[in-house]
Amino acid sequence: MLKVKKKAKPEKILLGEEVYILWQDGKESRISFFDLRDSCPCASCIDELSGEKTLDSNSIPEDIKPLKSEYVGNYALRVYWSDGHDTGIFHYKMLRDFEKQQ
Ligand SMILES: [Zn+2]
């Protein structure tokens, strides 16, 4: 099978009721705020050495939402959450693969 290189960059990202991403190849991703917060890859949510999740999902408010977000370089999105957590940097590749992981 021919390997097709994915355009791993979003055309646009909207934070409305959930995270909506339109990718440059036309694919759309929808991720709930809770699920995204729950899969935060930062060092205080994931043990860097073991790769184990240290974040307690029960500690995340059900009505969690992003207060603001910003692009990091051209490879990731940083989200400032309503629970005060702002060290999570979500790589586009991770966002792109998110639905498959569910
Ligand atoms: Zn985190």
Q: What is the pLDDT of residues 6-26, one digit of tens each?
A: 557 899 999 999 999 999 999
Closest by CA to 18, choosing from 86, 71, 95, is 95
Q: How far is the CA of 63 from the centre of ligand 1 (A)?
A: 17
What is each CA distance from 99 to 28, 30, 84, 93, 102, in whole angstroms? 10, 8, 25, 11, 5
Six token digits for residue 43: 């060092």
Q: How far is the CA of 2 from the centre of ligand 1 (A)?
A: 36
pLDDT at 36 over 70: yes
The CATH T-level fold of domain 10-101 is NE0471 N-terminal domain-like (3.30.2020)
Q: Which residues have a beta carbon within 5 Å of ligand 1, which is an ion? A: 40, 42, 45, 88
Cα separation, 18 vs 39, in Å, equals 15
Section 22-50 average pLDDT: 95
Q: Model confidence at 90, in pLDDT bands (50, 70, 90)?
A: very high
pTM here is 0.87
Q: Model confidence at 71, in pLDDT bands (50, 70, 90)?
A: very high
Under 8 Å CB-to-CB from 20, ≥6 apart: which residues? 13, 14, 28, 29, 30
